[in-house]
Amino acid sequence: MPPLPSKPEIPEPPQRSCLSLGLAALFVSFMVLILLFLTLGSFGPVLIVGGGIFLFAAIQYLIWGRLMTRLLKQQSDNDDQSADY
């Protein structure tokens, strides 16, 4: 009788690292620096305004988005409980 084949080895999942995120951030920083030099500094205010708009939107989402989600969930739970009776 021939020997049974050995169990196949299960490959390990690739480990996540911050290297790719760090390289991407470095690349973006380098490109922004190049744009700042090429436009003689006129790209800086555009970045500041764009960052301010993004920050404002993020704060609004954190305040109102989570609040509205919580309120809608409570309302949905109340509607489910009232429908059971």
pLDDT in tens, 16-38: 778 888 899 999 999 988 988 88
Confidence of residue 80 (pLDDT cuts 50, 70, 90): confident
Whether the Cβ atoms of residue 25 and residue 32 lie closer than 8 Å to each other: no
The span from the CA of 27 to the CA of 29, in Å, is: 5
For 72-79, what is the mean pLDDT? Answer: 84
Q: Which pLDDT score is estimated for 83? A: 67
Angle at 61 between CA 53 and CA 25, to 5 degrees: 55
- Give the span between the Cα atoms of 31 and 49, in whole angstroms: 18
Q: How does pLDDT run across 44-73, given as a tens digit for each residue?
A: 888 899 999 999 999 998 888 888 888 888
Q: What is the DSSP letter of 22?
A: H
pLDDT, position 68 = 86
24: helix, coil or strand? helix
Alpha carbon distance, N-terminus to C-terminus of the chain: 69
Residue 85: per-residue pLDDT: 58
